[in-house]
């Protein structure tokens, strides 16, 4: 079918769907916040006025307008130029992006059944919309015409990169495929998008479904007062007055595994965690994983690649799977050795108690905590009182101010994405507005697990003026006990700094085109992970680590203990991470489709077990993410890319050395170079060139191995 007819047909179908939905009468259009300019402070989305019924008509209208914009570009009679084709394409679809960015953010952090159903309803339409653009022959012909004469256009660096990325995007989107293969690609893209969506929804349901209810106070033995108080509060909210409720949210399960004296309860909650998506119920994701791996491989083959990893890695720093495995293997062997030493310590602690059982997964965190206390006279309960959430947040602000001179000021009377969220204005060192930062810290049933940094408006330019971003940081930290402030673990404090680093990347970005705003997946964690290096620096701790009751600055003796214990436990942390990275890669280097191209002969549980056992992972350490709740790869985003964290850690560990080498971790000259060459240019430069422009050389793995205590 002619692609012009298809696009016009889609626009007509969208208009029909919109009109027939009953959601887009003339009166309601004028009341839909997405269909007019925002009049809120700093132009943030008017969350207080956005209703569920606004999303669908706004998305439908956005697709309709976007389809018309694409047709106008593709069918104009003027000779293709950089401005009338490449820039026009880059600026198209803004109405759709305006609503999608809000819907996506809310669907992750404040979802409900209606929103999840709407996401399923819109998924095939959005997939068709994207494919109609990527596979529009007239549009691609114009893009190719501009690309073919690129050496004659006298473009600047940013314009050249936009042209290159636009052309490459069309090629990777299937523009060069035959008509039959393009039809196959459309079907594959639609199926993959729906399966990824299903995977994420299954995971949220499985996480929310599990409850460990304790009604005997003796079964709380070993747990901290704060954890017990939170469990009582959660139970009360669930209508279980007088009991204690523990869940699979990290602030509940992780300290439970760390402190509970009841081995059988630790086993129960860990098994509940590990079995998410693998319970042979309506939310089981084993078949979803099998289908996803199959369809991704089929897509890669269709695009001319031997496996999906080859397709995914082509435009990343790693370039190919051999380089990924080489890095993982280099770290795996020393990490496994350290893990063996940690297991010996854990076994020793078990014997000290007169027990003879062999350590299992539900024993690791519990006995590791005892081993750490025995070795360093340190446990987490000593640290938490000094890590009050507001102080840690302000510590991150302090570091950013010392490095870059920027400030964060609370904003009042501004719409919030959720009542729990906080809002801040970020100003540059000259007082100019850099952007708005939202922070949303605590878990709830409507929020996905984990932590992330997203946005409700990306940085761009309009009429020659910079449009500042609206950034959001979303976490699932330990909530405060009633009447008490929220006290963080060291890991949670590092998470806050990590996500804040992503936030700085978004706030500092300064590019003129959406098409060059992104960096490769295995570079994107550099800005976040380098921020973690400041969290436990004594100079920084003395600023923000103050006792929540007395205001006392964290004692030097405790800082010394933290420093000595800092590398302890890296065997476990590294191997559980690497195990998940191997799992992700192993799925996506599969190369052989079955003859009928229906599904790979893949038993997900056995495949995972084989991946881990052949590399010698101790049975006590499951991968950080098992297949059926591995949203980074099965939900999309980090597909054949979970290795990115360790790849970026090579960069961040080496990069922090640039500060340490000057003797000043706040060296403004080094910080200025990091901002200029890493945080500001988006994807205008090659990722390794950006790093070398900052550092003056390529990185090596030695600082990473030292930081993790693996050398």
Q: Which helix (H) or strand (E) holds 518?
A: none
CA distances from 523 to 427, 563, 600 (A): 26, 28, 32
Label residue 410 exposed, middle or buried (CB < 10 Å: 0-12, 13-18, 19+). Answer: exposed
102 near 52, Cβ under 8 Å? no
For 354, residues 6+ apart whose C-beta sits below 8 A from its C-beta are none
160 near 94, Cβ under 8 Å? no
Q: What is the rounded distance in angstroms from the CA atom of residue 650 to the CA atom of residue 647?
A: 5
501 near 527, Cβ under 8 Å? yes
CA distances from 47 to 346, 505, 617 (A): 50, 24, 47
Q: What are phi and psi of 171, to 5 degrees?
A: -60, -45
Q: What is the dihedral of CA 671, 675, 679, 685, to 10 degrees?
A: -120
Q: What is the rounded distance in angstroms from the CA atom of residue 453 to the CA atom of residue 12?
A: 36
Q: What is the rounded distance in angstroms from the CA atom of residue 494 to the CA atom of residue 548?
A: 18
240 near 491, Cβ under 8 Å? no
28 in active site: no
Tell me, what DSSP letter sits at residue 41? G
DSSP codes of every residue in 563-627:
HHHTTTTHHHHHHHHHHHHHHHHHHHT-----TT-S-----HHHHHHHHHHTTT--TT---SS-G
Q: What is the rounded distance in angstroms from the CA atom of residue 663 to the CA atom of residue 710?
A: 24
For 573, residues 6+ apart whose C-beta sits below 8 A from its C-beta are 708
Summarize the chain as % helix, strand, coil (round to 5).
Answer: 60, 5, 35
Angle at alpha carbon of residue 176, lines to 317 and 155, rounded to 5°: 60
Q: What is the rounded distance in angstroms from the CA atom of residue 395 to the CA atom of residue 376?
A: 26
Q: What are phi and psi of 599, to 5 degrees?
A: -145, 150
Strands (E), 192-276: 212-214, 244-246
Q: Which residues face 244 on adjacent strands?
A: 214
Which entry of 499, 525, 537, 608 is annotated as an active-site residue? 499
For the chain, the C-alpha Rg in angstroms (whole number) is 26
Tell me, what DSSP letter sits at residue 422? E
525 near 644, Cβ under 8 Å? yes
Three-state DSSP at 340 gives helix
Catalogue the active-site residues.
499
């Amino acid at each position: 079918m002619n692609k012009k007819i298809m696009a016009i047909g889609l626009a007509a179908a969208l208009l029909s769907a919109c009109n027939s939905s009953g959601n887009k009468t003339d009166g309601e259009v004028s009341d839909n916040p997405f269909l007019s300019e925002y009049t809120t402070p700093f132009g943030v989305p008017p969350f207080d006025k956005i209703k569920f019924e606004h999303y669908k008509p706004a998305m439908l209208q956005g697709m309709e307008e976007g389809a018309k914009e694409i047709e106008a570009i593709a069918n104009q009679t003027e000779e293709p130029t950089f401005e009338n084709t490449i820039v026009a394409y880059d600026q198209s679809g803004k109405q759709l992006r305006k609503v999608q960015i809000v819907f996506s953010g809310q669907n992750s952090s404040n979802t409900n059944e209606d929103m999840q159903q709407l996401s399923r309803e819109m998924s095939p339409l959005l997939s068709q919309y994207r494919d109609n653009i990527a596979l529009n022959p007239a549009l691609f012909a114009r893009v190719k015409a501009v690309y073919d004469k690129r050496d004659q256009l006298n473009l600047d660096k940013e314009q050249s990169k936009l042209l290159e990325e636009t052309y490459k995007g069309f090629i990777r989107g299937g523009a060069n495929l035959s008509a039959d293969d393009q039809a196959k690609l459309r079907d594959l893209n639609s199926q993959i998008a729906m399966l990824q969506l299903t995977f994420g929804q299954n995971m949220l349901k499985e996480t929310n479904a599990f409850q460990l209810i304790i009604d005997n106070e003796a079964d709380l033995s070993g747990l901290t007062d704060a954890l017990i108080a939170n469990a009582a509060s959660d139970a009360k909210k669930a209508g279980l007055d007088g009991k204690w409720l523990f869940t699979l949210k990290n602030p509940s399960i992780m300290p439970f595994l760390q402190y509970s004296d009841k081995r059988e309860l630790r086993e129960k909650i860990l098994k509940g965690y590990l079995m998410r998506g693998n319970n042979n119920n309506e939310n089981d994701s084993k078949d979803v994983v099998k289908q996803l791996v199959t369809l991704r491989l089929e897509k890669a083959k269709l695009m001319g690649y031997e496996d999906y990893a080859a397709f995914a890695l082509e435009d990343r720093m790693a370039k190919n799977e051999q380089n990924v495995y080489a890095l993982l293997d280099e770290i795996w062997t020393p990490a496994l050795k350290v893990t063996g030493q940690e297991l010996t310590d854990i076994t020793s602690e078990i014997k000290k108690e007169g027990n003879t059982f062999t350590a299992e997964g539900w024993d690791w965190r519990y006995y590791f905590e005892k081993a750490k206390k025995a070795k360093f006279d340190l446990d987490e309960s000593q640290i938490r009182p000094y890590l009050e959430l507001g102080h840690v947040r302000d510590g991150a602000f302090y570091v950013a101010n010392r490095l870059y001179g920027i400030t964060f000021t609370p904003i009042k009377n501004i719409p919030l994405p959720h009542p729990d969220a906080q809002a801040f204005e970020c100003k540059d060192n000259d007082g100019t507005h850099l952007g708005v930062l939202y922070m949303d810290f605590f878990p709830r049933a409507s929020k996905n697990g984990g932590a992330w940094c997203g946005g409700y408006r990306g940085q761009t330019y309009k009429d020659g003026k910079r449009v500042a971003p609206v950034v959001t940081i979303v976490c699932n930290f330990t909530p405060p006990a009633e009447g008490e402030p929220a006290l963080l673990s060291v890991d949670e404090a590092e998470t806050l700094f990590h996500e804040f680093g992503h936030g700085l990347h978004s706030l500092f970005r300064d590019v003129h085109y959406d098409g060059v705003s992104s960096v490769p997946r295995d570079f994107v964690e550099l800005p976040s992970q380098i921020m973690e290096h400041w969290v436990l620096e004594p100079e920084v701790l003395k600023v923000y680590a103050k006792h929540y009751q007395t205001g006392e600055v964290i004692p030097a003796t405790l800082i010394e203990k933290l420093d000595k214990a800092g590398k302890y436990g890296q065997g476990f942390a590294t191997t559980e991470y690497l195990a998940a990275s191997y799992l992700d890669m192993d799925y996506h280097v599969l190369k052989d489709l079955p003859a009928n191209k229906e599904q790979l002969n893949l038993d997900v549980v056995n495949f995972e077990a084989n991946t881990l056992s052949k590399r010698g992972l101790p049975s006590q350490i499951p991968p950080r993410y098992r297949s059926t709740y591995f949203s980074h790869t099965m939900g999309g985003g980090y597909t054949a890319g979970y290795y990115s964290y360790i790849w970026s850690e090579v960069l961040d560990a080496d990069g922090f050395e640039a500060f340490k080498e000057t003797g000043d971790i706040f060296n403004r000259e080094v910080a200025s170079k990091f901002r200029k060459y890493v945080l500001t240019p988006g994807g205008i430069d090659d990722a390794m060139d950006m790093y070398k422009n900052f550092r003056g050389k390529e990185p090596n793995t030695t600082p990473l191995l030292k930081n993790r205590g693996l050398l």
